[in-house]
A and B are shown apart, each in its own frame.
Chain A
Amino acid sequence: MSTFWAIVARDVRLAVRGGTESVMVLVFFVLAAILFPFGVGPEAEVLRRIGPGVIWVVALLAAMMSLERLFSADHEDGTLDLLATSPAPLEIVFLAKAIAHWLTTGLPLLVAAPVLGVFYQLPGPAFGVLLLSMLLGTPSLSLIGGVGAALIVGARRGGVLLALLVLPLYVPVLIFAVAGVDAVIFDAPVRPSMMILAALLLAAIPLCPWAGGAALRQALQ
């Protein structure tokens, strides 16, 4: 357990001290979302209609940006070999790294999302659901993306490959998160989609470390 928190603390500290990376992800998130009104026009009606979808799609892409280096960086400087010799199994190492990724990427996205909600003219009640969907959805993104990041350790052209591996697997999270926010706007029940989003997260918490641990083990052999 101490190894677990040590890894989380190390990654967060690295991100806070060294890093422009979290800031870059955030800037990308806001900037990419701002581009859409230029593409489709500034009518409030259109923006409200596409808002939840755009915010979530851009969040997927932003969360993916920092994934490529999640394990590759540790693999290159040998940290991953040291972590593998630690008493904690690789599944725990994976979970710690995924949580650190969420703290440094998912959480900033969650904080910035209401600003984009304002830009997209979302009605008042939609903000709460948008935040809830981010809170339940982005940890799944970090976990599923972490499996992809573990698979591409040592691969050529990792970045493009990661997008190809991870984006199709993100589809369910995207669908239910946007369905929830849309439901507020169109006066439909929000609960089912949020429940399924939570179910996806609950399924990802045990399954992704398992797959990610297996992927890391293959990479270290």
Chain B
Amino acid sequence: MANLHRFANPAQFQRLSRALLPWVAGITAILFVLGLYFALFASPPDYQQGDTVRIMYVHVPSAWMSLFCYTFLAVAGAVGLIWRHPLAFMSARAAAPIGAGFTFIVLATGSLWGKPMWGTWWVWDARLTSVLILFFLYLGHIALSRAFDDPARGAKAAAVLALVGAVNVPIIKFSVDWWNTLHQPASVSRLAGPAIDSSMLPPLFLMAFAFMGYFFTLLLIRIRADLASRKVQALRVAALAAAE
């Protein structure tokens, strides 16, 4: 019975996601083509940074997505714990590695950008440091949700952790800012310096929407794959039971 209840909602999701997926994926592809064209060809190089500034069009959208994904995890966890909605746990499980991926891209592109701009791969800057801690929060979430023999238990534990983490992210951000001003990092020009030129905004927002679309495309694919693998497992168990 419990299994039937579990599949009642996901069946509807399967139908809906099958209809949605081509549209979401198509829009994402168009946004990526437009965004990359503007970011790489149709926008001016920075007057100081030259072509290096184009790293921004990947770096900044992934930074936004890394925070968005963690919010998504916390909301999905709360929905799952409060309304016991199985799809909420599944989407949290599917979203966590995507968010970790975005966070890794922020750190990697930031490091690649830092080398020519600051002359070093890593600076203990407040923002870099808090993103690094966010990355470990993601890893903890992924590890916890996979640490139990019963996936339902892992999903619930990870949901509690996501909520604890969501409360802590602002506190960690604040404390790292405090720590950073206290220690006065070596004279590194902050990223935030001059205001961004308006000609750079269209490609930046195009790329941000493309990243958002990419997230939802991957999310749908991952949830569908998760559902399919559960179905396969259920069928195997049924086949074994029938053979006995």
Query: B134-159 vs A: 1/0 string, CB under 8 Å?
Result: 00110110011001110001001100
Q: Is the CB of A176 within 8 A of B175?
A: yes
CB atoms of A179 and B167 under 8 A apart: no
Which residues of chain A have C-beta atoms less than 8 A from B81's C-beta? 214
B144 close to A151 (CB less than 8 A): yes
Instruction: Say what secondary structure dominates the interface of chain A.
Output: helix
> For residues 127 through 184 of chain B, which have their beta carbon under 8 Å from a beta carbon of chain A?
133, 136-137, 139-140, 143-144, 147-149, 153, 156-157, 160-161, 163-165, 167-168, 171-172, 174-176, 178-179, 182
Complex Cα distance, B147 from A175, in Å, reads: 30
Contact B133 A218 (CB under 8 A): no
Closest beta carbon of chain B to A50's beta carbon, Å = 13
**Do the beta carbons of B176 and A151 come within 8 Å of each other?**
no
> Within 8 Å CB of A215, what residues of B?
157, 160
- B139 touching A155, Cβ below 8 Å: no
Interchain CA distance A161-B147 in the complex, whole Å: 8
Binds B, one of A59-67, A98-106, A164-172: A164-172
CA distance A172 to B179 in the complex (A): 9
Please, which residues of chain B bring their CB within 8 A of the CB of A151?
144, 157, 160-161
A200 and B136 alpha carbons, distance in the complex (Å): 21
Give per-residue flags for A179-206: 1 if the beta carbon is below 8 A from chain B beta carbons, else 0: 1001000000000000010001000000
Chain B, interface size: which category?
Answer: 20 to 34
Assess A156 versus B148: contact at CB under 8 Å? Given A171-B172, A175-B179, A218-B160: yes
Q: Which of B218-233 contact A (CB under 8 A)?
A: none
Complex CA distance for A175 and B168, rounded to whole angstroms = 14
CB distance from A171 to the nearest CB of B (A): 6
A219 at the interface (CB under 8 A from B): yes
Contacts of A154 in B (CB 8 A): 148, 153
Known: A171-B176, A218-B153. A155 touches B140 (CB 8 A): no
- Bound: A169/B136 CA distance, A: 10
The contact of B164 among A147, A158, A164, A175, by CB within 8 Å, is A147
CB-defined contacts of B182 to chain A, threshold 8 Å: 179, 182
Query: Quick check: B144 and A161 within 8 Å, CB to CB?
Result: yes
**Set A161, A171, A221: member contacting B133, Cβ < 8 A:** A171
User: Among residues 174 to 203 in chain B, which have CB atoms less than 8 Å away from a CB atom of chain A?
Assistant: 174-176, 178-179, 182
**A47 in contact (CB, < 8 A):** no
- Check A155 against B148 for contact (C-beta < 8 Å): yes
Residues of A near B178 (CB, < 8 A) are 175-176, 179, 196
Which residue from chain A places its CB closest to the CB of B180 in the assembled complex?
A175
Q: Find out whether the CB atom of B175 lies under 8 angstroms from the CB atom of A165.
A: no
Residues of B close to A218: CB separation below 8 A: 153, 156-157, 160
Least Cβ distance of A209 to chain B in Å?
Answer: 12
A162 to chain B, nearest CB (A): 10
A15: interface (CB < 8 Å) = no
User: Across the interface, do A172 and B160 meet the contact criterion of CB distance under 8 Å?
Assistant: no
Scoring B81, B136, B174 by chain A CB atoms within 10 A of each residue's CB, the highest score goes to B136
How distant is A207 from chain B, measured CB to nearest CB, in Å?
A: 7
Q: Which of B133, B165, B167, B182 has the most CB of A within 10 A?
A: B182
Chain B residues with CB below 8 A from A161, complex form: 140, 143-144, 147
Chain A residues proximal to chain B, CB less than 8 Å: 147, 151-152, 154-158, 161, 164-165, 167-169, 171-172, 175-176, 179, 182, 196, 200, 207, 211, 214-215, 218-219, 221
Name 12 extra pairs, CB < 8 A, besides A167-B136, A196-B175: A151-B157, A156-B149, A161-B143, A164-B136, A165-B144, A165-B161, A169-B165, A171-B133, A172-B175, A176-B175, A218-B157, A221-B153
Can you list 14 pairs linking A and B with CB atoms under 8 Å apart?
A: A147-B160, A151-B160, A152-B157, A161-B140, A161-B143, A165-B144, A165-B161, A168-B137, A168-B172, A171-B175, A171-B176, A172-B171, A196-B175, A196-B178
Q: Across chains A and B, which 9 residue pairs bring their CB atoms closest together, nearest first?
A: A172-B175, A155-B147, A218-B156, A175-B175, A175-B179, A165-B140, A168-B136, A164-B140, A151-B157
